[in-house]
Amino acid sequence: MVLQPSERHYRDWNHRRLGPWCSPTGSPAPLSCETGCGEGSWILVCRLLVPTQVSLLSMEEDIDTRKINNSFLRDHSYATEADIISTVEFNHTGELLATGDKGGRVVIFQREQESKNQVHRRGEYNVYSTFQSHEPEFDYLKSLEIEEKINKIRWLPQQNAAYFLLSTNDKTVKLWKVSERDKRPEGYNLKDEEGRLRDPATITTLRVPVLRPMDLMVEATPRRVFANAHTYHINSISVNSDYETYMSADDLRINLWNFEITNQSFNIVDIKPANMEELTEVITAAEFHPHHCNTFVYSSSKGTIRLCDMRASALCDRHTKFFEEPEDPSNRSFFSEIISSISDVKFSHSGRYIMTRDYLTVKVWDLNMENRPIETYQVHDYLRSKLCSLYENDCIFDKFECVWNGSDSVIMTGSYNNFFRMFDRNTKRDVTLEASRENSKPRAILKPRKVCVGGKRRKDEISVDSLDFSKKILHTAWHPSENIIAVAATNNLYIFQDKVN
């Protein structure tokens, strides 16, 4: 039986085979020092929790589910493993924000409508809908449990009154339709008021059915189920710019799907060797170009990025461009290959740049320059001396995501101790902020945090030895056109916006 090359398996076979080494509303506005990375520039809009029970949000309940917001809070110590948020994603307008958790649930938040009397509520989100996307399964042929955890969520552009999104666990991708209903039909001829069939012999007159107003109901219905196409765990899904196809990527293969066809997909990348003992790398992330439907990029556990063009051949075994930075021999160590593994890759909105996140850095690559990145940002370089302990507690295999702001001028990624980092590409300034329950009062101003590596510690600094590695910001999202960000910390969802004077 071939083992799944997951993080722990990858660690085991990788080191066993290779051994240790010798050595504001409107168009996007660029964030400046004053609006993006300056002290006190971000404020907390609201703190939300992913509900533990879907029944709380059932429309049959007597509560107004769309008004569950800041009051729906509890201590995160009561959160179970199923409550941990596993993905966060804004839709294309930023009016909706979807989260998926390890329990297979999808919770959608809707932005509060702005009014003249409630200008201060700009950016506040309330629960809009929630549904169970995936259930736990068991593969009897391989004797494997398939978790219900939601790995990724991707929105489709809105074409009508309904919303569509893709959600995936390790094996199955589903297309969901989220729609509103505020009217119900009445006056059936063949049914009575309770929905039971009437005897046709008793029908003497015909009635014209009418639509009656009813309380607003938000329904989520599965429209497509794309299954049985992946042997290994799905780590990425990406919607193509033609909006007719999307791709799903696992550890060794990338498949191309048509939204209308569920029983067939096209394999466009396959890096599985004939002998699994010869396996040296796995696919870690993949994404389509935002404008060119024939171009996509995928990253590997070796720290490399491959740009592929589907016009070249049906199977993209040969890449068009290959991005790799030569390793600095002075920094080579036992953990070099592990920390160089890319956990996330994102095209810029313009399509000119690629951003990648490895364990310690965020890099920006120009599509026209393959030999090295044009920008490298140190996220938490103070952890370089602690890689041994991070290896022992498996934190070194954490997969951090990274995001662009709407104008591609600022990038954001997460760290430990519920810290998240922002880097201004124009001014080269950066800031460390914290999403914590202690600062969870609405409209609270975030203060920059600093980590002290050694020596004398200042009053506002935190020692690197005091960092809590169980608190980590793995998943973040940035509003497509405004300076509003969503940060997932365990089962808490923090929404921040830049301070408006």
**pLDDT of res. 11:** 42
Q: Which of 160-164, 210-214, 281-285 has the lowest mean pLDDT?
A: 210-214
pLDDT tier for residue 332 given thresholds of 50, 70 and 90: confident
Residue 39 clears pLDDT 70, i.e. is over it: no
Give the distance, in angstroms, between the CA of residue 426 and the centroid of all CA atoms in the same chain: 26
List the Cα angle 24/26/29 in 5-degree steps: 60
**pLDDT of res. 378:** 96
Residue 438 clears pLDDT 70, i.e. is over it: yes
Distance, CA of 430 to CA of 451 (rounded, Å)? 13
Distance, CA of 403 to CA of 419 (rounded, Å)? 15
Structural domains in the chain, sorted by start: 42-53+180-498 (2.130.10.10)
- Torsion over CA: 389, 392, 396, 398 (sign): negative
pTM value is 0.83
For the segment 243-267, what is each residue's pLDDT rounded down to a tens digit? 999 999 999 999 999 999 999 999 9
Residue 53 clears pLDDT 70, i.e. is over it: no
* SS3 call for 488: strand
**What percent of the chain is modeled with pLDDT above 70?**
83
Q: Exposed (0-12), middle (13-18) or buried (19+): which is 430, by Cβ within 10 Å?
A: middle
As given in the structure block, the two tokens for residue 437 are 């329950």
Q: Exposed (0-12), middle (13-18) or buried (19+): which is 221, by Cβ within 10 Å?
A: exposed
The torsion defined by the Cα of 353, 356, 362 and 363, in degrees rounded to 10, comes to: -40
Characterize 38-54 residue by residue with b for buried, 16 or more Cβ atoms within 10 angstroms of its Cβ, and e for exposed. beebbbbbbbbbbbbee
Residue 55 clears pLDDT 60, i.e. is over it: no
Distance, CA of 77 to CA of 80 (rounded, Å)? 8
Residue 3 clears pLDDT 60, i.e. is over it: no
Q: Exposed (0-12), middle (13-18) or buried (19+): which is 251, by Cβ within 10 Å?
A: buried
Characterize 354-367 residue by residue with b for buried, 16 or more Cβ atoms within 10 angstroms of its Cβ, and e for exposed. bbbbbbbbbbbbeb
For the segment 226-245, what is each residue's pLDDT rounded down to a tens digit? 999 999 999 999 999 999 99
**pLDDT of res. 14:** 42
Q: DSSP label at 217?
A: E
**pLDDT of res. 500:** 65
For the segment 439-495, what is each residue's pLDDT rounded down to a tens digit? 667 777 888 999 988 767 777 789 999 999 999 999 999 999 999 999 999 889 999
Distance, CA of 239 to CA of 288 (rounded, Å)? 7
**Greatest mean pLDDT among 62-76, 187-201, 398-412, 434-448:** 398-412
pLDDT tier for residue 171 given thresholds of 50, 70 and 90: very high
**Greatest mean pLDDT among 20-34, 47-61, 91-105, 118-132:** 91-105
**pLDDT of res. 453:** 82
**pLDDT of res. 109:** 95
Q: What is the mean pLDDT of residues 50-61?
A: 38
Which residues neighbour 16 within 8 Å (Cβ) at sequence distance 6 or greater? none
Mean pLDDT for the chain? 84
Q: What is the mean pLDDT of residues 282-308?
A: 97
For the segment 349-386, what is each residue's pLDDT rounded down to a tens digit? 999 999 999 999 999 999 999 999 999 999 999 999 99
**What percent of the chain is modeled with pLDDT above 90?**
64
Q: What is the mean pLDDT of residues 103-130?
A: 80
Q: What is the mean pLDDT of residues 299-309?
A: 97
